[in-house]
Amino acid sequence: MAAASVQENLPPSLEATSDPPPLFDGTTRLYIAYVCPFAQRAWITRNYKGLQDSIKLVAIKLQSRPAWYKEKVYAANTVPSLEHNGKIIGESLDVIKYLDSNFEGPSLSPNDPAKKEFAEELIAYTDTFTKTVFSSFKGDPIKESGPVFDHIEEALHKFDDGPFFLGQFSLVDIAFITFFERFHIFFSGVWKHDITAGRPKLTKWIEEVNKIDAYKQTKIDPNEHLETFKARFLAK
Ligand SMILES: N[C@@H](CCC(=O)N[C@@H](CS)C(=O)NCC(=O)O)C(=O)O
């Protein structure tokens, strides 16, 4: 079960002219950008585990990133990153695993060995999945991305003790949903194509993830995603 739902006031995004927070003062901070699917993974994980009070969100404006972020926080200059116990953890998939292993709250990793193995396999597949869909935008998107969406549909058939990849909600759902959110909007907004059509498990999965408060609280205006994707992938 997810931790109790918490409604929080989200902080404004920090820009190039904004001062840094008091870094490495013992506060645990999660650096995100509201628009970023990688950062959203970490944000959902933090919410699901009920860590709103113990992990402070710091939002960054990507187009106007403060220089201190790269210089003093995370040299890779990407979001998300997590400031914890005097160190920085980067890379969204590492951050979500770290949050699940090192903080209190409901576990997002299965104990069952078969599920553990499948979780690793699917988490390793996220990169291939997203890259295939992104590169399909340059060609015939519906045709070229079809096989990876079918692969996901098939993966959702593996465990039937719940609507999620491993039955119960886990890091695997978190790793995929932020990209599905954007792909769903983009395919329907640009090509009038519903990526869930003919994929009943995927339809149900998206419906069920959308009931989870920890995720709902991280969703932004779909039009913002549509415009961001259009500018990034369709601009000539
Ligand atoms: N592999 C990284 C990717 C993170 C990433 O690319 N984040 C984007 C925003 S969505 C970013 O910070 N881009 C800034 C840049 O690449 O300079 C992860 O999983 O955390």
Q: pLDDT tens for residues 45-64? A: 999 999 999 999 999 999 99
Atom of ligand 1 nearest to the CA of 93: 19
For the beta carbon of residue 180, count every other beta carbon within 10 angstroms.
21
Q: Mention every residue, 6+ apart, whose C-beta is less than 8 A from residue 129.
A: 148, 151, 152, 176, 179
Mutate to test the pocket of ligand 1, among 78, 89, 94 (most ligand atoms within 8 A of CB): 78
Alpha carbon separation from 155 to 45, 131, 181, 194, 201 (Å, rounded):
22, 18, 18, 19, 9
Contact 116, 109 (CB under 8 A): yes
Condensed to tens digits (0 to 9), the pLDDT of residues 111-141 reads 999 999 999 999 999 999 999 999 999 999 9
Nearest-Å Rg of the Cα atoms of the chain is: 18
Atom of ligand 1 nearest to the CA of 35: 10
Q: How far is the CA of 80 from the centre of ligand 1 (A)?
A: 7
Q: How far is the CA of 95 from the centre of ligand 1 (A)?
A: 13
Spatial separation of the C-alpha atoms in residues 151 and 174, rounded to whole Å: 17
Condensed to tens digits (0 to 9), the pLDDT of residues 186-233 reads 999 999 999 999 999 999 999 999 999 999 999 999 999 999 999 999
Task: Retrieve residue 167's tokens.
Answer: 């039955």
Spatial separation of the C-alpha atoms in residues 70 and 72, rounded to whole Å: 6
Q: What domains lie within the chain, and their CATH numbers?
A: 1-107 (3.40.30.10), 113-234 (1.20.1050.10)
Ligand 1 pocket by Cβ (under 6 Å): 33, 36, 38, 62, 77-80, 91-93
Q: How far is the CA of 90 from the centre of ligand 1 (A)?
A: 10
Looking only at Cα atoms, what is the longest distance across the chain? 52
